[in-house]
Structure 1
Amino acid sequence: MKHLALMGTLLWMCGAGSAWAQAETQEPFQEGVHYVRIDQAPAPRDIVEVTEVFSYRCSHCNTFEPYMQAWNARKPAGVELTRIPVVFGRRDWELYARAYVTASVMGIAEQTHVPMMDAIWKERRDMRSMEALADFYAGFGVTREQFLATAESFAVDAQMRREQRQVQIYGVTGTPTLIVNGQFRVAGNQAVPSYDDMLRVVDYLVARELAALESTPAADS
């Protein structure tokens, strides 16, 4: 009986030890639950890119913006934040997406991003035409005429088409959505119920991608 009891204790200890080891090695976030791996992901770059897919007409994106700004201020070295304004086939979203891309082509997207959100959601400015949007952007170092001309340019058209194709590849169906290195999609769901949770998942994926970059041998010069 003592022998059987000892064997039972040893088996329990082995089982418990296995469970403890599994708990220690288990990743905090799981693919398919907290994030989605993207098919047709582009080749990795020498930095880690986090892309926010958003719309100025999305109230959730407006609520998320302070979280995104705080994250951008604390993001680690070697990480770049980019944005894609999504259209989803909606005319008003297309107008504001074109305005953002125009600002990007003109080099004023970063300085005008938060002011544009505030103009729409805090000041409730009526800007439902490109002319009205040009009046807004004219306060940031470009003329109304320059903005309107750029909005109809080949460069803006090409970037709009390229980015909307990218949104389809990423499988984005709602906003805000975050893409890590073109390979992982993070959006709110039952397992990721808050904006803080979204950014925790992003931090986890960013850390993984940074570690992968550090472990990749440098290309021969």
Structure 2
Amino acid sequence: MKKLLGILTLALMLPLQACAQEMYTEGEHYEVIAEEASKDREVLEFFSFWCPHCHAFEPLVEQMKQKLDEEVKFEKVQVNFMGFAEKDVQDEATRAMMVARALKREDQLNKAIFNYIHVQRSPVTSIKDLKNIFIVNGVDPDEFDKLVKSFGVNSMFSKNNKLIDQYRKELSGVPTFIVNGKYKAKFTREMTPDDMVDLIVWLSEQK
């Protein structure tokens, strides 16, 4: 009986898998940017705190994280080439994000930076502005100062910018999602927000 149920379950799943493959097509919904996928499954979101589209996309990012398999790593990569602010200031924002990552409060503090820029309409001109955002959100100022200069944060900052260099030719705009090091997602106007989330999840399952 168990064997029969297993066969029936598989038979029901196959049409759904076929449907997904037909739904997302190379060239229209994604591009293949490498011959081989990365060893570990991952989703890289290239974004900017200054980008209004990235800010608006945050609820979908949360849905992606919830729907991705536990083994899939989701990582935000803050770019430093947007025209909204000086490169040095954008790098400072990346460094602040790495402090948040070290504190294991990245989601909350990223949201605070987004809100500061897009909701409060306040300018970020230096690391001091970012530090004040963190203090308002409960981060000890001395701990911030210690972490922002730490080896761990410097290493994460360097990794962030190496990823920008690695994928720079693929980054015509943000947000851009690179999945498993092989696929770049493309969102069409016909896609619903749920479609966009499901595309990222589906790409994360591809080799």
Partner of 2:185: 186
Displacement of 1:29: 2.1
Given that 2:28 and 2:186 are in contact with CA atoms closer than 8 Å, whether structure 1 keeps it comes out as no
Q: What displacement does 1:158 show?
A: 2.6
Match of 1:149 among 146, 150, 153: 146
Larger Rg: 1
CA distance in 1, matches of 2:146, 2:189: 45
TM-score (ref. length: structure 2): 0.73
Structure 1's unaligned 5+ residue stretches are 1-22, 210-221
> Is contact 1:131–1:148 with CA below 8 Å preserved after alignment?
no
- Matching residue of 1:127: 124
Cα deviation for residue 62 of structure 1 reads 0.5
Shift of residue 64, structure 1, vs aligned partner: 0.7
Alignment match of 1:138 (pick from 135, 139, 144): 135
Q: 1:84-99 residue pairs with structure 2 within 5 A?
A: 84-88=77-81, 90-99=87-96
Size of the alignment, in residue pairs? 184
Per the TM alignment, residue 172 of structure 1 is displaced from its structure 2 partner at its CA by: 2.4
State percent identity of aligned pairs.
26
Quick one: distance in 2 between partners of 1:108 and 1:25?
Answer: 35
The CA distance in 1 between the partners of 2:106 and 2:142, in whole Å, is 17
Determine whether 1:168 maps to 2:165.
Answer: yes
Which stretches in structure 2 are left out of the alignment for 5+ residues? 1-17
SS of match in other structure, 1:142:
coil
Q: C-alpha offsets along residues 19-65 of structure 1, whole Å, 9 cap, x if unaligned?
A: xxxx98963222233212233766422xx322211111111100111
Distance 1:191 1:39, change over 3 A: farther
Amino acid corresponding to residue 206 of structure 1 in structure 2: S
Higher relative contact order (CA 8 A, sep 6+): 2
The match for 1:106 among 97, 103, 106 is 103
Whole-angstrom distance in 2 between the partners of 1:103 and 1:113: 8
Normalising by structure 1, report the TM-score.
Answer: 0.69
Q: Which runs of 4+ in 1 moved over 4 A?
A: 23-26, 190-197
**Distance in structure 1 (CA, Å) of the matches to 2:78 and 2:25:** 27
Q: Decide which moves more: 125-134 or 190-199.
A: 190-199
1:25 and 1:123 mapped to 2: Cα distance?
Answer: 41
| Kept in 1: contact 2:113–2:130 (CA 8 A) | no
Distance 1:41 1:176, change over 3 A: farther
The answer to whether residue 29 in structure 2 is matched with residue 34 in structure 1 is yes
Q: Give RMSD over aligned pairs.
A: 2.9
Partner SS state of residue 83, structure 1: strand
